[in-house]
């Protein structure tokens, strides 16, 4: 047992921490206000090798370890959730290739993603198919050496800017979830449309797109795994990405906590810093404790992913559930700690509170996490 990061991981963390402080944190409020995708930060991460974290060295990356991915996401999310999604979704969109791709597919598709030359995304949800992913309607029909996709996807993070998009579609609609297959769409060969971006409560700089596929041709060589294996791949990917959402929630909470704690030391009322009041102290003690509890669970899940442990599905769901609920509570309390200033946009904690909400919803709502956990416990 060892609760500490390796020296190599700490070196990666320090690099990220410095970049985040110097280049990301100063942009966070503007990214949120303008709801603009921070292409500059994507470039910054690409140049500094951060987007190589999700990939093992043989595919052009620097790690591939879930612990390292979580550590990176956590660090970035402390300052800017939108920016943390650049790493998180690069991982999410690449996992299907890493989990289910052939050696040829990994060697061909991963290096440009690891280098940050291309952006990845993951398209599972549809307007009528959210928690019930198996109910998807997008159709892929085979004609010779290629498939033709028709349908649409909903709530696709980076779906409008991605170069490499993993899409799940029905190849055998009668077979229900056993008829779903996974495809890698490369934009230049298989262009899709993103007619609408959503206006959102939080993660406003991160484009969330509706996607439309009209006779989009995909080479059969870009199908991941066998026909019908798509649903299994989708779930295996979510098992691996959920600790990352936990890490994101953790980072958001820590960012808000650090800001609010510092604020209470400066803020004078009744002739003393408000941090001298026990009511405030207890709030912060509780927040710090919940953050620490979430941290251990997030990294527990990450180590389970790295070890391919048999109970990783359950622990990953627990990490996502606990950390995201924690982040919602902590950021709400941080707004409370700042009082009226907490509610206005000149201070970052209201943005963090808005950003926290999505972590309870995406990559499986927390209700779905409970279904997953209960299923594991009662099987």
Partner 1 sequence: MDLDLEPHHEVFRASVREIAQGVVEPLAAEVDRDHRFPVEAVEAAREAGLMGVLIPKEYGGAGLDALAFTLCIEELAQACASTAVIIDVHTSVGSEPILLFGTEEQKRQWLPRLASGELLGAFALTEPASGSDAASLKTSARRSGADYVLNGTKVFITNIGHAGVYIVFARTGADDRAAGVSAFIVPADSPGLRVGQVFKKMGLNGSPTGELVLEDVVVPAANRLAAEGKGFTVAMRALDSGRIGISGQALGIGQAAVDQSRQLLASQPRRQGDDFTLAEMATRLESARLLAYEAAWLCANKRPFTRIASMAKLHSTDTAMDLALTALQLAGEEGTIAGSPFERHMRDAKALQIYEGSNQVQRVVISRELLNTR
Residues involved in catalysis: 363
Q: Does the footprint of partner 1 cover residue 373 (CB under 8 A)?
A: yes
Residues 6 or more apart whose CB falls under 8 angstroms from that of 259 comprise 334, 347, 348, 349, 352
Of the two residues 105 and 369, which places its CB atom closer to partner 1 in the complex? 369
- Whichever of 148 and 288 has its CB closer to partner 1, that residue is 288
Find the part of the chain contacting partner 1 (CB under 8 A) among 20-28, 77-85, 112-120, 314-322: 314-322
Tokens linked to 370:
């409970």
Would you count residue 347 as binding partner 1 (CB under 8 A)? no
Positions in 241-280 near partner 1 (CB under 8 A): 258, 261, 265, 275, 278
Classify 307 as helix, strand or coil: coil
SS3 225: coil
Which helix or strand (DSSP H or E) is residue 73 part of?
Answer: helix 66-77
**Which range in 32-40, 82-90, 317-325, 329-337 contacts partner 1 by CB under 8 A?**
317-325
Residues 6+ apart with CB under 8 A from 188: 163
DSSP-assigned beta bridge partners for residue 169: 181
Of 4 and 145, which has the nearer Cβ to partner 1? 4
Q: Please choose, out of 122-130, 149-157, 159-167, 313-321, the segment that lies near partner 1 by the rule CB under 8 A.
A: 313-321
Q: Does residue 9 bind partner 1 (CB under 8 A)?
A: yes
Q: How far apart are CA 353 and CA 373, in angstroms?
A: 26
List, in order, residues 6 or more apart from 136 with CB less than 8 Å away: 124, 126, 129, 151, 168, 169, 170, 180
Interface pick for partner 1 out of 315, 327, 335, 337 (rule CB under 8 A):
315
Question: Minimum CB separation from partner 1 for residue 203, in Å?
Answer: 24
SS3 letters across 286-306: HHHHHHHHHHHHHHHHHHHHH
* Sign of the CA dihedral with 338 first, then 344, 345, and 346 last: negative
From candidates 5, 134, 200, 365, binder to partner 1 by CB under 8 A: 5
With respect to partner 1, which residue has the nearer C-beta, 186 or 254? 254
Q: Give whichever of 233 and 328 is closer to partner 1, judged by the CB atom.
A: 328
What letters, b where the CB count within 10 A reaches 16 and e where it falls short, cover 351-369?
A: bbbbbbbbbbbbbbbbebb
369 touches partner 1 (CB under 8 A): yes
C-alpha triplet 36, 39, 42: angle, nearest 5°: 125
Residue 253 CB, nearest approach to partner 1 (Å): 14
- Binding residue (CB under 8 A) for partner 1 from 23, 178, 267, 370: 370
**Minimum CB distance to partner 1 smaller for 5 or for 341:** 5
**Sites for partner 1 among residues 281-300 (CB under 8 A):** 281-282, 284-286, 288-290, 292-294, 296-297, 299-300
Joined together, the tokens standing for residue 308 give 């391919």
Tokens 């028709």 found at:
150
| E strand or H helix at 133 | none
What number of other Cβ atoms are within 10 A of residue 235's Cβ? Answer: 16
371 binds partner 1 (CB under 8 A): yes
Residues forming contacts to partner 1 in the complex (CB under 8 A) are 1-6, 9, 67, 258, 261, 265, 275, 278, 281-282, 284-286, 288-290, 292-294, 296-297, 299-300, 302-303, 307, 315, 318, 321-322, 367, 369-374, 377-378
């Amino acid at each position: 047992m060892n609760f500490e990061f390796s020296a190599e991981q700490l070196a990666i963390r320090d690099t990220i921490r410095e970049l985040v402080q110097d280049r990301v944190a100063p942009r966070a409020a503007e990214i949120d206000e303008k709801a603009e995708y921070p292409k500059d930060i994507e470039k910054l991460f690409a140049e500094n090798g951060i987007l190589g974290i999700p990939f093992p060295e043989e595919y052009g990356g620097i790690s591939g370890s879930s612990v390292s991915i979580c550590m990176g996401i956590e660090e970035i999310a402390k300052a800017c959730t939108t920016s943390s999604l650049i790493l998180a979704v690069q991982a999410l969109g690449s996992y299907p290739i890493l989990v289910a791709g052939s050696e040829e597919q990994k060697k061909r598709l991963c290096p440009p993603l690891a280098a940050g030359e291309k952006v990845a995304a993951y398209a599972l949800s549809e307007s009528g198919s959210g928690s019930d992913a198996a109910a998807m309607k997008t159709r892929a029909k085979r004609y010779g050496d290629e498939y033709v996709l028709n349908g649409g996807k909903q709530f696709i993070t980076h779906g409008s800017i991605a170069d490499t998009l993993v899409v799940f579609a029905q190849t055998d609609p009668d077979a229900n979830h056993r008829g779903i297959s996974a495809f890698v769409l490369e934009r230049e060969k298989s262009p899709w449309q993103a007619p609408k971006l959503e206006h959102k409560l939080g993660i406003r700089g991160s484009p969330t797109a509706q996607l439309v596929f009209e006779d989009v041709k995909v080479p059969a060589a870009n199908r991941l795994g066998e026909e019908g294996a798509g649903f299994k791949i989708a779930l295996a990917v979510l098992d691996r990405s959920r600790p990352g959402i936990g890490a994101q929630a953790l980072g958001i909470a820590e960012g808000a906590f650090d800001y609010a704690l510092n604020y209470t030391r400066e803020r004078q009322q009744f002739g003393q810093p408000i941090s001298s009041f026990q009511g405030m102290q207890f709030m912060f003690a509780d927040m710090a404790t919940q953050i620490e509890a979430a941290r251990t669970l997030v990294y527990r899940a990450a180590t389970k992913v790295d070890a391919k442990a048999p109970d990783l599905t359950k622990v990953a769901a627990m990490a996502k559930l606990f950390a995201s609920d924690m982040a919602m509570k902590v950021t709400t309390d941080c707004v409370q700690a700042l009082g009226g200033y907490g509610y206005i946009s000149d201070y970052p904690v209201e943005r963090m509170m808005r950003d926290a909400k999505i972590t309870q919803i995406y990559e499986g709502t927390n209700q779905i996490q409970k279904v997953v956990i209960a299923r594991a416990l009662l099987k």
